[in-house]
Chains A and B, each alone.
Chain A
Amino acid sequence: MQVSTKQVLLSVENLKKYFPLKIPWTQALLKRERPTVKAIDDISFNIKKGETLGLVGESGSGKTTTGRVIIRLIEPTSGRILFDKKDISKLSKENLRRARKDFQMIFQDPMASLNPYMRIGKTVSHPLEIHKIGTPAERKEKVLSLFEKVNLIPAKEFFNRFPRQLSGGQRQRVVIARAVVTNPKFIVADEATAMLDVSVRSQILKLMIDIKEDLGLTYLFITHDLASAKYICDRIAVMYLGKIVEIAKTSDLFKEPLHPYTRILMGAVPIPDPKLKRSKIIPKGEIPSPINVPSGCRFHTRCPYATKICSEEEPELVEHQGRLVACHLFDKK
C-alpha cells in the first residue's frame, strides 16, 4: 500500500520505563532492593508517515505508558525516540513546548483530562490561543465546525457547557476535538472511542480517518477493541507485560495470529448473540505482575503451548514470514 514507501515519522528504540514502587517504610527497611514496576521493558518499533499503528494488549501491559513516554509527558528510563529523525528524548523544555503542537494525545480518561471549570468550547480553542493561531472569531468558527464533525450538535449550545454537563461519550468527543484542533502531525489516541456506542464510534473512526487523510496525520491507536483496530489500523503491535510480542499488518494478524497470546485475544471477543458463548480458551492462570516478571517468556505461565525452553529463555522479536513475533514456536534456532 501507499504507506510502505513513505518515510518513517517516529522510531522508538529499546525504550524502557520503570516505576519505583512505593512500599510502607517498615517493609522498605527490610528489603535491599526497591521493587519496580517494569511498565515497558525494552520495546522497539516505528511508524511511517501517514500510517496508523495499533497498540493492543492486556490491561496493564504498558500501552498508555508507551504513549506518554513517546510524546514525552514522562521521561523514559532509557531508550531513544526519534521524531522526524530528531531525537526528542533530548529536547529542551522550550523546544518541547513548541513541538507539542505537532504531537497530541487523546487521553484514556476524558473527565480527568478536562478542566472542570472551563466551558468545553473554551477548552477546545485553548490550544489555538496558546500557539497563537487565528483571530478569536476564527477560533470559535473552527471549534464549532469541529463540534459538528464529532456530532456534538447543536454545536453552539454545547460550546457553553461544562464537562460535568456531558455524558461520558460526549466528553470523549470533546477530547478528540481538542486533539485535532491544532492540525498536529502525530496523535496518540488512547482508548479514544472506548466509551462510544458502536454507532457513534463508527462515525468518529470515519472522522479520524478523514482528518488523517486531510492533514496527512499519523496515529498511534491504543485500544482494546479489536473491531476498531481492524478498521482503522494499517499495522498492529500486540503488547504483553511491557513487551511487544507481535507486530503484523492488520489483515495478516486477523487472518492468522501467530503468538499464542494474540490467538487467545482474538478468540475471546464477546459474540453479540445470547445463544452463543465466546470460546473459552481464556487462560486460567493468574495474571503475572509487572513487578515479578516471569522468567523466560513472560507469557509462559499462561501459555497452552509452553515447553521447557519457554521458562528459561526470553524469545526475541524475530521475523517470521515477513512478520515479527516473539515466541519460541517460531524461533528457528
Chain B
Amino acid sequence: MMALLEIKNLSIDYLTRNGTVKAVDDISFSVEARDSIGLVGESGCGKSTTGTAILGLLPPNARVSGSILFKGRDLLKISNEELRKVRGKDISMIFQDPMTSLDPIMRIRDHFFELLRAHYPKMDENEMKKISSEALKSVGIEPSRLNNYPFEFSGGMRQRTMIALAIALQPSMLIADEPTTSLDVVIQEQILEVLRDLKKTKNMSMVLITHDLGVVAELVNKVVVMYAGHLAESGDVYSIYEKPLHPYTKALLESIPNVKLEDRELRYIPGSLPDLKNPPKGCRYWPRCPYVKDICKRETPPTVEVDGRKVKCWLYGGEINAGIDKTSSAVS
C-alpha cells in the first residue's frame, strides 16, 4: 500500500551571506493514513524546516532536494496553483508562531471566512458562521469572541485559534508545529482530545512537531527523532520510549523533568547543537556522545534497521554490534 505521505532523501539548505546552513540532511520517513508521527529533537535541529517544506512554504533562501510524495504526487514538483489547493484542505498546518501567522488587522471571524471562501467560494455567511463558531468552541473559546482582533486574545487563545483554523476544513493531514507550547495542561488535554477525535472519526493523520515528550507519548504512534538536521532514529513510540537505540534519543528521554518526583534537579544534555554551517564530520552527535568511537568522527553512519526501527548510529553499523546497555536505558 502506498503511504499517504512519503519523504525521501529530503535535504534543505539555507543560503545566507556568510555561509550555507545545512538545516536538514538526507532524511526519509513516511506517514500512513491515520498515523500520528511525532517529530522531536532539540531547538534548531530542523523540525519546523521539515514541516514547512511539506507545504511548500519555505523562505526564498532555502534550497530543497529529495522528494515529498503526498498520495503519490511529488509536492516539490507541482505548480504553486496546485499546491495552494492542497493547503488547508488536504494538508493543513499550525505554525509555531501564532501571533505572526494571524493578521493583526483582521478580526478572528475574517480569518475563518477567508479560509472558507478560498476553498468553498459559494458557501453562505450563515454556514461560515456556524463552522467558525464550532471550530472555536472545540478549542474552548466562546464563539462571541469571533469579533475580536488577534491582539485582544491571550497567547494561548491565539494558539488555539490557529488550531481551530487548521482543523476547520477537516484536512486529511495536519502538520502541527508546537501546537500546545503556551497552553496549560488542562486545556492541552482538551485539545489533544479534539485531535484524537479527528484522527478516529475523520481518519486524519498528523505530523506533530514538538519538544514535549509527554505530549508525544499521549498522542502519536510513531516517533522521528532528529539531531542537527539528521534523522537519528525512527520507529514506534512504545519501543522508542522503552528502549531507545540512539544515544541521543536516550539522553533526550532522560532529560524529561518529572513533576511527580521529589527532586528539583533539572537534567540536560551537556554541550550544544553544532554550528550547522560547519557541522562536525561523521556523525553530527559525536562531540556530545558518551559512546563515541573513532569511526564516528570520520564517517557519517548509515541508516540501518534494528528491531523494525531505523537508527543512524555506528553502534548498530554492522561489525560493531554492542548497542547500549539495555537495563540502563529504561526511563523511570
Contacts and interface: CB of A to CB of B under 8 A. Distances in A.
Interface of A: 19, 21-24, 37, 56-60, 63-65, 108-112, 151, 153-154, 157, 160-161, 164-165, 167-170, 190-191, 194-203, 205-206, 224, 226-228, 230-231, 254, 264-266, 268-278, 282-283, 286-287, 289, 291
Which of B144, B156, B213, B269 has the most chain A CB atoms closer than 10 A to its own CB?
A: B156
Given A108-B155, A164-B59, A274 B257 contact: no
A272 B98 CA distance: 26
Given A109-B97, A157-B277, A195 B178 contact: yes
Interface of B: 14, 16-19, 40-44, 47-48, 59, 96-100, 140, 142, 144-145, 147-149, 152, 154-160, 177-178, 181-190, 211-218, 237-238, 241, 251-253, 255-260, 264, 266-269, 272-273, 275, 277, 331
Given A157-B275, A198-B256, A199-B268, A265 B217 contact: no
A270 B148 CA distance: 31
Main SS at interface, chain A: loop
Closest 6 CB pairs of A and B: A169-B43, A59-B156, A270-B214, A197-B211, A227-B257, A202-B268
B184 A272 contact: no
Given A22-B148, A157-B18, A227-B259, A170 B43 contact: yes
A278 B43 contact: no
Given A21-B148, A271-B217, A194 B186 contact: no
Nearest to B277: A157
B184 A265 contact: yes
B257 A231 contact: yes
A268 B211 contact: no
B259 A270 contact: no
A65 B18 CA distance: 41
Contacts of B238: 274-275
Given A56-B184, A231-B266, A287-B187, A165 B44 contact: no
Contact of B14 (A56, A165, A276, A278): A165
B186 A272 contact: no
B253 A272 contact: yes
Given A157-B277, A224-B183, A274-B218, 9 more contacts: A21-B147, A59-B160, A64-B155, A111-B97, A191-B182, A224-B156, A270-B212, A271-B214, A278-B189
A110 B190 CA distance: 25
A22 B258 CA distance: 43
A63 B182 CA distance: 12
A265 B259 CA distance: 12
A224 B264 contact: no
A107 to B, nearest CB: 9
Contacts of A22: 147-149, 152
B258 A273 contact: no
Contacts of B16: 161, 165
Nearest to A270: B214
B94 to A, nearest CB: 13
A153 B331 contact: no
A59 B218 contact: no
B269 to A, nearest CB: 5
A200 B277 contact: no
B184 A270 contact: no
Contacts of A194: 181-182
Contacts of A21: 147-148
Contacts of B44: 167, 169-170
Contacts of A169: 42-44, 211
B214 A151 contact: no
A291 B144 contact: yes
Contacts of A273: 217, 241, 331
Contact of A282 (B147, B186, B258, B272): B186
Contacts of B183: 59, 224
19 contacts: A19-B152, A22-B147, A60-B157, A65-B154, A109-B158, A111-B97, A111-B100, A151-B272, A151-B273, A157-B19, A165-B14, A170-B43, A198-B256, A206-B266, A271-B217, A272-B216, A274-B218, A282-B190, A287-B187
Contacts of B40: 197
A273 B260 CA distance: 13
Contacts of A199: 42, 251-252, 255, 268-269
A271 B257 CA distance: 10
A153 to B, nearest CB: 6
A203 B264 CA distance: 14
Contacts of A195: 43, 96, 178, 181, 211
Contacts of B42: 169, 197, 199-200
A58 B187 contact: yes
Contacts of A196: 43, 211
A157 B17 CA distance: 10
A109 B99 contact: yes
Contact of A153 (B19, B259, B275): B275
Nearest to B269: A199
Contacts of A60: 154, 156-157
A205 B14 CA distance: 30
Contact of B186 (A198, A203, A228, A283): A283
Contacts of B273: 151
Contacts of B17: 160
Nearest to A284: B190
Nearest to B14: A165
A112 B14 contact: no
A269 B255 CA distance: 16
Given A23-B147, A157-B277, A224-B184, A202 B266 contact: yes
